[in-house]
Amino acid sequence: MTVAETKTPAHAEAAWQILWELMLKQRTRFVEAVAQLDLTPVQAIVLRRLDPHRPTPMHEIADMLRCDASNVTGIVDRLEARGAVERRADPSDRRVKALVLTRSGRTLRRRALEKMGEPPPEIASLSRADLQTLHGILSRATSR
């Protein structure tokens, strides 16, 4: 071997480094925020994923979380126990159980979305110009 292959440009690594740092900080912030609604992080993520206007098959949740289906059973059990969601049999395919938000589940979801949508001080303190630029770059990054 002659020269080490720099697979990723230094600029990408530098930007990623800071982004990583920021994400790590947000992790604990997120946990604490949803805990105020008596939600665990995963419960909040699942709630966020549920469409208030469309029953959601459980396997879609497993796909999103990239976890085993049996894991979803437990998570949904707890959400159902607290009255946020209901399992509903899908008439067109009786294997699937689709999740439907209850009335209180919709309220809970809305409140959770509000909390998650609140930008952290790091972001909120940026200038308007920076925010617009950031938005543009991130859109480009995630849409590619």
Interacting residue ranges for DNA, rule: CB under 7 A: 40-43, 57-59, 62, 65-76, 78, 87, 93-98
Question: Is position 53 an interface residue for its own copies (rule: CB under 8 A)?
Answer: no
| Enclosing H/E stretch for 69 | helix 69-81
How many whole angstroms from its chain centre is CA 127?
Answer: 26
Query: At closest approach, how far in Å is the CB of 87 from its own copies?
Result: 24
Q: How far is the CB of 2 from DNA (least distance, A)?
A: 39
Q: Is 24 in the site for its own copies (CB under 8 A)?
A: yes
CA distance between the termini of the chain: 33
Residue 52's nearest CA partner among 112, 111, 116, 103 is: 103
- Chain mean position to CA 108: 15
Residues engaged in binding its own copies (CB under 8 A):
8-9, 11-24, 26, 28, 31-32, 45, 65-66, 116-126, 128, 130-135, 137-142, 144
